């Protein structure tokens, strides 16, 4: 298991923790989620390690996310462990290289501060970049939008087919309504309300189920990477409500026009 030793020099700059705390003594270790699963251990348990002093038990103090970038890509996301610098030194007979310094900027988006840091330490400053696993996930960012577009087309087709079929099947009812005094505007409104009801039921059922399924899928993926699952539900999702209702009524325009042109005498005589 790859292990990184960390010693705080100033402030508090450390890999993110998902549970527990970072090690404070040489007999403590924080493990990543992948290692905890592989070892069937949890925070607070013990794990054995072979050190220069023999086989010792290390107390697991927390679950840490160790980025591959601070280990020269030698540690995969979700693997590895963190100890104190003194504790990590006991795992190797040769002196450990102290060659990485973690720095956090007061204003992370300040390009001038990063440029100054690069001038003071030329050729050795590496900005924080997402791990390879995260960059691979970014490559499929457009997939949900494409899937949503396909499902939208299917929903539009379903609503259109339902309304056209319903208007044809309810020709007699529409004819009776017109015979009782319904005008074309009222017939079109009845078809529009039917489209609104269909779309409304889809929104009431689909939005909560979609949000829950998306949250569950992202949590499973994040746990596989052993990173913190932070689901983000965009406020733009609320725009789906008026957009779907407007689209449903737009689709209903043609069946509504057909229904409004129903000739009561012709329909009732044929039926």
Per-residue pLDDT of the chain (271 residues; tens, 9 = 90+): 888 898 888 888 888 888 899 999 989 999 988 888 888 999 999 999 888 778 889 999 999 988 777 776 777 788 889 999 888 888 888 888 888 888 888 887 788 888 888 888 888 888 777 777 777 777 777 777 788 888 888 888 888 888 888 777 777 777 787 787 888 888 888 888 888 888 888 888 888 888 888 888 888 878 777 777 777 777 777 787 888 888 888 888 888 888 777 777 766 666 6
Predicted pLDDT at 270: 66
Q: Coil, strand or helix: which one is 206?
A: helix
Q: What is the pLDDT of residue 21?
A: 92
Angle at 169 between CA 264 and CA 263, to 5 degrees: 15
CA distance 195 to 251: 8
| Contact assessment for residue 16 and residue 64, using Cβ atoms and an 8 Å cutoff | yes
In terms of DSSP bridges, do strands 81-84 and 17-20 run parallel, antiparallel, or are they unpaired?
A: unpaired
According to the model, what pLDDT value does residue 141 have?
73
Q: Note whether 65 and 16 are within 8 A (CB).
A: yes
Contact 252, 162 (CB under 8 A): no
Q: 85, 101 in Cβ contact below 8 A? A: no
pLDDT (0 to 100) of residue 221: 79
Nearest 5 degrees, angle CA 248-CA 168-CA 191? 35
Number of H helices, E strands in the chain: 10, 6
Site of tokens 């791990």: 131
What confidence score (pLDDT) does residue 269 get? 67
Kindly report the CA angle at 108 between 70 and 222, in degrees rounded to 5?
55
CA-to-CA dists, residue 171 to 54, 186, 214, angstroms: 89, 15, 42
Both tokens of 91, joined, read 């795992």
CA distance 221 to 191: 43
Report pLDDT for 83: 92
User: Residue 187 has what pLDDT?
Assistant: 82
| Beta carbons of 34 and 64 less than 8 angstroms apart | no
- The answer to whether 198 and 245 have CB atoms below 8 angstroms apart is no
Query: What is the pTM for the complete model shown?
Result: 0.61
pLDDT of residue 60: 94
Region class of 61: left (phi > 0), else alpha (psi between -120 and 50), else beta: alpha
């Amino acid at each position: 298991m790859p292990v990184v030793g960390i010693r705080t020099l100033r402030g508090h700059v450390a890999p993110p923790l998902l549970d527990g705390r970072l090690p404070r003594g040489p007999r403590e270790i924080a493990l990543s989620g992948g290692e905890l699963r592989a070892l069937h251990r949890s925070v607070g348990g013990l794990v054995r390690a072979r050190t220069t002093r023999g086989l010792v038990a290390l107390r697991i103090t927390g679950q840490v996310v160790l980025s591959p970038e601070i280990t020269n890509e030698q540690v995969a996301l979700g693997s590895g462990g963190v100890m104190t610098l003194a504790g990590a030194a006991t795992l190797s007979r040769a002196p450990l290289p102290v060659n990485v310094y973690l720095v956090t900027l007061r204003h992370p988006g300040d390009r001038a501060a990063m440029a100054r840091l690069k001038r003071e330490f030329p050729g050795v400053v590496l900005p924080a970049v997402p791990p390879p696993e995260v960059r691979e996930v970014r490559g499929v960012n457009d997939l949900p939008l494409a899937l949503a577009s396909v499902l939208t087309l299917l929903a539009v087709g379903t609503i259109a087919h339902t309304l056209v079929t319903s208007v044809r099947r309810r020709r007699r009812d529409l004819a009776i309504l017109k015979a009782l005094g319904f005008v074309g505007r009222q017939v079109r409104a009845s078809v529009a309300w039917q489209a609104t009801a269909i779309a409304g039921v889809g929104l009431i059922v689909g939005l909560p189920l979609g949000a829950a399924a998306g949250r569950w899928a992202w949590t499973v993926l994040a746990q596989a990477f052993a990173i913190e699952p932070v689901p983000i539900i965009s406020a733009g999702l609320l725009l789906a409500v008026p957009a779907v209702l407007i689209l449903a009524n737009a689709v209903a325009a043609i069946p509504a026009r057909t229904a409004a042109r129903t000739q009561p005498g012709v329909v009732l005589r044929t039926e």
